[in-house]
Structure 1
Amino acid sequence: MPNRTITEARLLEMVFPDHTNHLGTLFGGQALAWMDKAAFIAASRYARRTVVTARSEQVDFQLPVRQGQLVETVARVVEVGNTSMQVEVELVAEDLLSGERETCTRGRFVMIALDSRGRPTAVPALPSG
């Protein structure tokens, strides 16, 4: 099987009471932590290097995620610089009984690849096509 570049990561989490605020909806900080984790995994798989988060950009909380829902976090490497990767991340909430799914949160994270000395290092270009 040919070696192909992996540019995506998907994580699944259940929203339990300890993830929620007093309204029974997902804490924004918890959502950001799940998004950052997915961005880290997508960037690490793409670069095959140690990566760190440089910044998060334009995170939009569009709909609340309720306790008891399943959350799928989808992260995709969409742009690559010399040492950086832009990762788009979305949180999709799913009602397990009805199957209804809604995108609730979107954001973009910038991840930096590091060499063994902790310095920024080159990452491969995105494959074309």
Structure 2
Amino acid sequence: MKDTHKHVKDSEVIKTEMVLPNDTNTLNNLMGGKLMHWMDVVAAISAQRHSNSIVVTASVDNISFKSPIALGNVVTLHAQVTRAFNTSMEVYIEVIAEDIPANRKYSSHKAFFTFVAVDCDGKPAKVPELIPLNEQEEELYKGALRRRQLRLILAKRMNPQDATELKSLFDLEGIGQKE
């Protein structure tokens, strides 16, 4: 029997890698595609831990390459589920880069990935509810519904008038209506 609810800590994943020559571009910085691969892997593991199911990547929000990560730096990726919906989950990933000889750590990337839990036949499967336990978890949890509604509108899978959480941020009256 599957859990009916879980907490954020149940889905936490931490992965640490060192940037090696084969991971870099011609400027000796970590290739963006390599980092996105690492982010997708930790996010998928986090979603699997929450759902106890096979998961597939449904969407990736904007990944801003804020700071390059140099050859020899250590990269730590931290992923956690921020909210679970019916069959989907939003996962937050933060990437911390570390130049150990210089004793310098910095947040280099943040992103939200969405996963759908599926059964052995590839059909969407119900996921447990997520219960936030502290202020930071609650903030990410509340924001997840707004981010979800925005994703659905951009994918043309939701009418802007139905985006109840976004109405409080924007005046959506009249959007999508014929003049």
Query: 2:122: which partner in 1?
Result: 118
Is 1:55 matched up with 2:59? Answer: yes
Instruction: Pick the structure with greater CA Rg.
Output: 2
Q: Could you tell me the percent identity over the aligned residues? A: 35
Query: Out of 40, 44, 47, which is 1:43 matched to?
Result: 47
Query: Out of 29, 33, 43, which is 1:25 matched to?
Result: 29
Following TM superposition, where does structure 1 have runs of at least 4 consecutive aligned residues deviating by more than 3 angstroms?
A: none
Give the TM-score taking structure 2 as reference length: 0.68
**What per-residue deviation string (whole Å, max 9, x for no partner) do you get for residues 53-73 of structure 1?**
111111111100000000001
How many corresponding residue pairs? 127
In structure 2, stretches of 5+ residues that fail to align are 134-179
Question: RMSD across aligned C-alpha pairs, in angstroms?
Answer: 1.4
Give the TM-score taking structure 1 as reference length: 0.93
Give the distance between the partners of 1:120 and 1:40, measured in 2 at CA: 15
Query: 1:84: which partner in 2?
Result: 88
What letter matches 2:121 in structure 1?
R
Q: Which has the higher strand share?
A: 1
In structure 1, stretches of 5+ residues that fail to align are none
Equivalent position SS for 1:92: strand
RCO comparison, higher one (Cα < 8 Å, 6+): 1
Q: Which has the higher helix share?
A: 2
**What per-residue deviation string (whole Å, max 9, x for no partner) do you get for residues 77-128 of structure 1?**
0011100000011111011223321011111100110012110010000024
Query: 2:170: which partner in 1?
Result: none
